[in-house]
Structure 1
Amino acid sequence: MAEVDDKYPEESGRRRFVKGVVGSAALSGIGTAAAASINTATAPTGAGGGITQYYGPENIDGPAPRAMPQIPVEIDDEGFLKGIWPEPKTVTQAGREVTIAEMDLGGVTYSSEWFQYCGVQTYPGVDPEADQDNYFRYAGSSPYEWQEEEVEPGEKVNVADFEDYEEFGNDIGTDGIGKPALATWRSQDVPPSGTMPVQIIRSTLFEEMTEQGDDWLSASIADGFYANLNKCTHFCCVPSFKGLASSAQFGAADEIYCQCHQSVYDPYNIVQVSFVALPRPEED
């Protein structure tokens, strides 16, 4: 992606932009040959895995090594939000056939392998053929007062719940730059330990980003709604956007902040990075 300059609201005093960080593998200096050997060594231990490029909110502070993976959003005819999930297909990796969910979306190879880290590779919902409807559903525990008061856990997330997103504020950071919610995805009828947590934000800033002419942003953000798998890439904790007042102490009141080890992600700066996706366990 070419770098595109843009601005936060003037009062925030901050820049925002969309940029691509592209390389053979952004793996702490691992070169192409070494990355290829890792791919060969990793893939045979399970189904899928290996070097994967993906998009997500840039890690801008703290120990997290990279972005959390973005989940492309679509909205059905009744206003309910879904995470896009590719159709499963069989591919050959490291000389063996494996099933993955993969598609071209906005000129990008979007794959189930984006989410294969932090143990999520073992979750039922990451199985490409899992019987799930892909709707986002409100999480059972949320730091957001509006979510606790206005919706029920397990309800499908709807556009109508975010009508005040242009002026939303909760005394954390800048008002009017995004209304958040915590949800789950591809996690119906699975144990709590297998629930895939999701951060959702609706913002006019995302609407502006989709007008910049970038195919990926236009394909992955719907009506100002953005989502990511909410597992910190440092130690697998669950961060939040405007979820904790203490985030201000770390300059993260307007960012996605992980309270466990102070990792910070900028949702308004979507980057492309690489990592070694862990293989899913073999099916019996």
Structure 2
Amino acid sequence: MSADEDKYPSESGRRRFVKGVVGSAALGTVATGTAATVEVATSAAGAGGGITEYFAIENTDGPAPRGMPIIPVEIRNDNEIYGRWPEPETQTVQGKEVTVAEMDVGGTTYSTTWFQYCGVQTYEGIQPDADQDNAFRSAGGTYDWQADVDDGAVLTLDMFDDYEGWGNGIGQDGLGKPAVANWRSDGDVQTIPVQVMRSPEVSKMIAGEGKYASLSGEARSFLEAATENDVMAWLNKCTHFCCVPGFKAFGGSARFGGENSVYCQCHQSIYDPFSPVRRTFTALPRTE
């Protein structure tokens, strides 16, 4: 392909858009760096904002600046799928009492600050001490199979019994069965969107099997503690413009190489759920 050829379909307009985004992102790093410096000096991570390390599903293409945060899961009553939420506690940070929620997950500090971006930091359910249910509750409309599940019903393992061979005509069958859900969103509050997936690839990643042999020990330890029965989950907010992507959710994803990945149809960002990576960003302050 010559330098003058467009690698994306001309009708998509993607090449021009991505160039513009990259240019603006490059300029934005100056302001971001300055803001991060100020925030580190004035607000410790866990006190409402600041530099935060987290594990993400990796962003592999498109304008998104980083991956979306993984949510550790747990199975209750041998069947119900929940997200884990750290117990809140009061700490004194820079002379001020603040509520903090963090815990160790596989050697990694998991904190509520992982989700403080794209306006989610203002959601009631993201407050460390919010009185919310941690169950992943079904939100239909994306996958045909969820039409048989009542909206608001707790997702359960048996709903994913066919996960090792599941397919919907998009990409390769057998990579995993996804669901769309809401989390910590009971009552008249903003909805926190998540994606839940049960996949045979989860066990392979933890074991470092085959193509996952190069996965770091740190990532494998985190995954082993953050997943259960091959179930994993992540906050489903694109880190670019806060859209809602999906794993095998959009037929057009194949045009951009995203048919076996999490694809955001708004601006063609692609995330690989089978590539957990440690990333850093500046978490935005919560609403007090």
Q: Normalising by the residue count of structure 2, what TM-score does the alignment of the two structures yield?
A: 0.82
CA distance in 1, matches of 2:32, 2:156: 44
Map 1:41-80 to 2 at 5 A: 41=42, 48-80=48-80
Which one of 273, 276, 285 corresponds to residue 279 of structure 1? Answer: 285
Q: Residue 9 of structure 1 aligns with which residue?
A: none
Q: Residue 195 of structure 2 aligns with which residue?
A: 199
Q: Deviations over 1:97-142 (max 9, x none)?
A: 3212111111000000000010001111101111112000001x43
Query: Is residue 253 of structure 1 aligned with residue 252 of structure 2?
Result: no
Map 1:230-241 to 2 at 5 A: 230-241=236-247
For the 8 Å contact 2:165–2:174, the answer to whether it is kept is yes
> What amino acid does structure 2 have at the position aligned with 1:151?
V
Q: Which structure has the higher relative contact order (CA within 8 Å, separation 6+)?
A: 1
Q: Residue 21 of structure 2 aligns with which residue?
A: none
Q: Residue 12 of structure 1 aligns with which residue?
A: none
Cα deviation for residue 95 of structure 1 reads: 4.2
Q: Deviations over 1:169-217 (max 9, x none)?
A: 00000000010000000001133xx100001111100121122362211
> What amino acid does structure 2 have at the position aligned with 1:145?
D
CA distance in 2, matches of 1:169, 1:177: 8
Query: Residues 94, 85 of structure 1: CA spacing in aligned structure 2 closer, same or farther, 3 A cutoff?
Result: same
For the 8 Å contact 2:47–2:93, the answer to whether it is kept is no
SS at match of 1:154: coil
CA distance in 2, matches of 1:258, 1:153: 23
> What amino acid does structure 2 have at the position aligned with 1:167?
G
Map 1:1-284 to 2 at 5 A: 35-41=36-42, 48-139=48-139, 141-148=140-147, 150-191=148-189, 194-212=190-208, 214-282=220-288
Q: Deviations over 1:237-276 (max 9, x none)?
A: 0000000100011000000001111110000000000000
For the 8 Å contact 1:42–1:278, the answer to whether it is kept is no
Report which stretch shifted further, 81-90 or 205-214: 205-214
Q: Rg larger in 1 or in 2? A: 2
Where structure 1 has 5 or more consecutive residues not aligned to the other structure, the ranges are 1-26
Alpha-carbon RMSD: 2.3
For the 8 Å contact 2:39–2:49, the answer to whether it is kept is no
Where structure 2 has 5 or more consecutive residues not aligned to the other structure, the ranges are 1-27, 209-216
For the 8 Å contact 2:142–2:249, the answer to whether it is kept is yes
Cα deviation for residue 236 of structure 1 reads: 0.6
SS at match of 2:146: helix
CA distance in 1, matches of 2:136, 2:52: 24
CA distance in 2, matches of 1:276, 1:78: 37
> What amino acid does structure 1 have at the position aligned with 2:73?
V
Q: Deviations over 1:65-85 (max 9, x none)?
A: 001110001001240000000
CA distance in 2, matches of 1:32, 1:195: 30
CA distance in 2, matches of 1:137, 1:271: 26
Q: Deviations over 1:29-63 (max 9, x none)?
A: 9999984533224569x951100000010000111
Q: How many residues align?
A: 251
- Greater share of helix residues, 1 or 2? 2
